[in-house]
Amino acid sequence: MEAVLEAATDLLAARSLSAVSIRDIAAKAGVNHGLIHRHFGSKRNLVRAVVARNDQRLQAAITEATGFRGMLEAGALTVEKDPRLWRIPARLLMDDEVEFLDEFPRSAVASLVAAAAADTEWERTHQVTAGEATFLVMCLSLGVAMLGKYIGPSLGVSEPALPNMVQTVFAAVDRVRVEP
């Protein structure tokens, strides 16, 4: 099943959900398509398994780091090393596959929010909640991952490294103090 999940991850990162069939996944994994149906029941269940697996991979990467910044940097590095982690949710979003949107990395996001909540300095100095801070940095990170190679060259930014961008954003945010 690991080969099936890996094949599905590759194909779903490259094509829309409607353009990927169970037979395509089976051929790439080198297994009979009936085996996939027997194990997962449907293509939708297989996609859920891929999304959950990607969440587990991201969760494993960020739990090795400490603090909100460290976890975000570790997550950014993981996403930069394996772009499939952002391509699949982006494709599902663009294809309006709303049933999968609620399944976007729950455990990884929950860990980031908990780390942001523990960073009381962030909330006090910038007056944003832990959820808002996580939301903003994740949106920025996904935006850089998705559009960096398109927008960067026109602005003279060559190959923006996602972890470096996260550090730069934090440095800029640290300079901004909101008076209560």
Please say whether the beta carbons of 80 and 161 come within 8 A.
yes
A 10 A CB-CB count for 84 gives 18
Structural domain that includes position 71: 2-175
- Residue 90 within any structural domain of the chain: yes
pLDDT score for 23: 96
Token pair listed for 13: 């990162």
Q: With 0-12 CB in 10 A as exposed, 13-18 as middle and 19+ as buried, what is 62?
A: buried
Q: Which residues of the chain have pLDDT under 70?
A: 98, 101-105, 120, 122, 126, 159-160, 162-163, 169-180
Residue 180 maps to a domain: no
Asked if the structure places residue 141 within a domain, the reply is yes
Looking at the domain assignment, is residue 124 inside a domain?
yes
pLDDT score at 175:
60
Tens of pLDDT, residue by residue over 97-113, are 867 766 666 788 888 88
* Domain assignment of residue 37, yes or no: yes
Q: Would residue 15 count as lying in a domain?
A: yes
pLDDT of residue 49: 93
Q: How many domains does the chain have?
A: 1
pTM: 0.80
Residue (of 162, 16, 163, 1) closest to 88 by Cα position: 16
69 domain-assigned: yes
Is 25 part of any domain? Answer: yes
Please report, for the domain that includes residue 143, its CATH number: 1.10.357.10
